Chain A
Amino acid sequence: MIYDFFLKLFGNDVLAMLVSSLIPLFILVLPFTLVAVWLERKVSAHMQDRLGPMRVGWHGWLQTIADLIKLIQKEDIVATDNDKPLFNLAPILVFAGSYAAFAVIPLSSIFIGSNIDLGIFFIIGISGLVVAGILMAGWSSNNKYSLLGAMRSAAQIVSYEIPTILVVLTMVMITGTMNLRTLSEMQTGYFWNWMIFGGPDFGVAKFIFIPLMIAGFIIIYISTLAEVNRTPFDIPEAESELVSGYHTEYSGMKFAMFFLAEYANMFAVSVVVVALFLGGYQSPFGYLGNLFNAHWLIPIEQFFWFVAKGVFFVFVQMWLRWTLPRLRVDQLMALCWKYLIPIAFVNLLIVGIITVL
């Protein structure tokens, strides 16, 4: 474990915890957001018969870095009528809320920022910070469009947390743990041990679970799409209606923080879904490290599978974004309250009965 390694190195548990929690941020999340922004532009461009960024680096892969440098240089505009403390705090909260989730996500079997037992609970709780940040941004901007965007966003995220939590609860009932590492370890072996295929236990229950798990997976995927404000649920920033929603008034690095937080969030929800349903960092076909008797290789492979699965779902999010139009705010709420929540409840009930039996 990385934490134990640092504990031996520093001899101080707080310092070790801090360093091991920061590592995912620097080796994975920050580089990932840079790549994801570039990927989004490339995916959208190729879907639309264009090339996208081509000038900076090979096929424009340095474009995001160039953009970030540009954004750092920009003037940080704060209008006179903005509520300054809230205005300055909002991007920090949004940024922190979306990055903090990575602290408890296991990147491989030996690599988890903070191996706490309430992992999934922590993620759901900490993502509440994002809502607070968005509301603050909308209110403090003193702009009607921002306010409308923020109100929509808060309503949307709070509503869609319910189906997410219900599905998470279903998973907790089956597995009996909230620790994401334990959850991933349970799904080891081959892909039929993944929770979406009924989990590791063979028997009648496994085959009953399969349709329920697929339903749960679809519900949680749709609700996480809404939670990170992606099309078809990108109503808070609906460009054509609200200019760009709650971050209309932001410029420079504060805008960049919202922007990067959005991409970090996309990855975070993708890997949470992967950890719950698709085996987390587990390989679907066994490990090369076992084959060649090189056990040091396994964590690296696991890291590869983790990133690959996460990026795949981020890609699906982009794919949806550039294909689908946007729902209206009342239709969005109707989808959540009329369809997702009842189905999630029924799912929870059936799984509960089966688990008790």
Chain B
Amino acid sequence: MPVEIEENIKTKSGNLRTEEMILNMGPQHPSTHGVLRLELQLEGEVITKVIPHIGYLHRCFEKHAEAMTYPQVIPYTDRIDYLASMGNEFGYAVAVEKLLGIEIPERVEYIRVIMAELQRIASHLVALGTYGADIGAFTPFLFCFRDREKILNLFEITCGARLLYNYIWVGGLSHDLHPDFVRLAKEFTSYFKPKIKELNDLLSYNRIFTERTANVGILPVETAINFGVTGPMLRGSGLKWDLRKNDPYSVYNKFDFDIPVGQGLMGTVGDSWDRYFVRVLEMSESLKIIEQALEQLPEGDVTSAIPKRVKPPVGQVYARIENPRGELGYFIISNGTPNPFRVKVRGPSFVNLGVMDELCRGHMVADIITILGSVDIVLGEVDR
């Protein structure tokens, strides 16, 4: 709960003037999840203001994209949110296909969904693991990375890369699935289900963990909407908003899954624990989608619809998908040449980071870490 601050300490000999301390957290700090610099104004250990300073990882993605042809941009999209590369490619491919107006084979859509959902689990595992590590529980962090390793192995047999894939192309995929992929993916889903329970036992319901996260950094749903917050953060505040249901793209409308929302089980709706737990629940929903997609996976050629030359007509398009961190949108303007005139990315981490000051005010220094971890930013996406 936020703490009230005494402006002046009254003593017998008059008022004792107190001074605010300014503490720089980052860019080299173990818990800012990258090169984020937070300027904290402190009254003792209580925070009066948080100013995030960004830009330490700026790599000119948007400007760079203007010098590339449409397919050449894809490897750069990998590097936006490097923990959810499949999602970034997926969003870009959806945007360009919308601009081109081409039809995609069923098999391609199914494989894309499988990859995006596996990526969602992998990304949430990093988020949950590092969140535990931020709060001082180091073991769940390594347990999460052990499981994420299995997903990365699946990606590796699919496209050879473990982090930056260049797998989802405009109109198709770079390769078809490995012959063993379906078997291995099924093995993974049956392996992973009990691991979610393990994570819950070890971390989610741990008394110290709930004490640290419940009622900390409460984000009311109105504030969340006003700041444009999306993804697990918005759902943690109790709003059932997921683009996979609310604005279905690809073949998501063919699967049966739920949208978990924060219910305030441990404290108030929209606190850090809710944001954490929404991610845990989303992992099992993703598993459901993967299982259904593996069952229904149609046959077909995954490269047949790839256009020889991507040269969209003059126009503009905005396409959005639900990335692990929220709504990832691509706004592309085409001037009829093989290069995009403008590619604008709406990165969920960047937008979600904006609400930091609102969340942190009145909390203690230790809570900054809790709140920042529950926002789950990837600096590659904040700075692009």
Q: A and B, one complex?
A: yes
- Measuring CB to CB, which residues of chain A are less than 8 angstroms from any residue of chain B? 44, 47-50, 144-145, 148, 231-232, 234-235, 238-241, 243, 322-331
Q: Which single member of B21, B134, B142 contacts A240 (CB below 8 Å)?
A: B134
Contact of B146 among A49, A232, A243, A325 (CB under 8 A): A49
Taking a contact as CB atoms closer than 8 A, the residue among B137, B139, B365 that contacts A241 in the complex is B365
A144 CB contact (under 8 Å) in B21, B135, B212, B366: B21
A324-B146 in contact (CB<8A): no
Q: A238-B366, A240-B133, A241-B369 are in contact. Are A327 and B142 (CB under 8 A)?
A: no
Per-residue contact bits, chain B 346-384, to A (CB 8 Å; 1 contact, 0 not): 000000000000000000111111000000000000000
Question: Is there an interface contact between A232 and B208, defined as CB atoms closer than 8 Å?
Answer: yes
User: Is B168's beta carbon under 8 Å from chain A?
Assistant: no
Tell me whether A44 and B45 are in contact in the complex, defined as CB-CB below 8 angstroms, given that A241-B369, A243-B30 are known contacts.
Answer: no
> What are the residues of chain A within 8 A of B45 when measuring CB–CB?
148, 329
Least Cβ–Cβ distance between B21 and chain A, in angstroms: 7
Q: What's the least CB distance linking B362 to chain A, in Å?
A: 13
> Judging by beta carbons under 8 Å apart, are A324 and B206 in contact?
yes
**B369 contacts A325, C-beta separation under 8 Å:** no
- Contact check, A329 vs B206: say whether CB atoms are below 8 A apart: no
Q: Most chain-B Cβ atoms within 10 A of its Cβ — which of A148, A235, A324, A325?
A: A325
Closest chain A residue, CB of each to CB of B372: A240
Q: Is B136 an interface residue (CB 8 A)?
A: yes
- Given the known inter-chain contacts A144-B21, A240-B31, A240-B134, please indicate yes or no for A328 contacting B367, CB distance below 8 A: yes
A155 to chain B, nearest CB (A): 11
Q: Are B21 and A231 in contact (CB under 8 A)?
A: no
Tell me how many residue pairs across A and B have CB atoms closer than 8 Å. Answer: 76
A82 to B: closest C-beta gap in Å = 19
**Among A238, A328, A330, A331, residue most surrounded by chain B Cβ atoms (within 10 Å):** A328
Distance, CA A50 to CA B23, complexed state (A): 36
* B257 proximal to A (CB < 8 A): no
Q: Which residues of A contact B146 (CB under 8 A)?
A: 49
| The 5 nearest A-B residue pairs measured at CB | A326-B136, A325-B137, A48-B142, A240-B31, A325-B135
Q: Which residues of B contact A235 (CB under 8 A)?
A: 366
B31→A241 contact, CB < 8 A: yes
**B 137-177 contacts with A by CB, 8 A:** 137-139, 142-143, 146
* B132 near A148: Cβ-Cβ < 8 Å: no
Give B5-40 as 1s and 0s: 1 = Cβ < 8 Å from A's Cβ atoms.
000000000000000010100000111000000000
- Mark contacts of B83-108 with chain A using CB atoms, 8 A cut-off: 1 yes-contact digit, 0 otherwise: 00000000000000000000000000
Cβ contact within 8 Å between A329 and B136 = no
Chain A hits for B364, CB < 8 A? 328-330
Contacts of B29 in A (CB 8 A): 243
Please, which residue of chain A has its CB at the minimum distance from the CB of B23? A144
Q: How far is the CA of A324 from the CA of B207 in the complex (A)?
A: 9
Instruction: Look across to chain A and name the residue whose beta carbon is closest to the beta carbon of B202.
Output: A323
Of residues A145, A243, A326, which shows the largest number of chain B Cβ atoms within 10 Å of its Cβ? A326
CB distance from A324 to the nearest CB of B (A): 6
A329 vs B363: C-alpha distance when bound (angstroms): 12
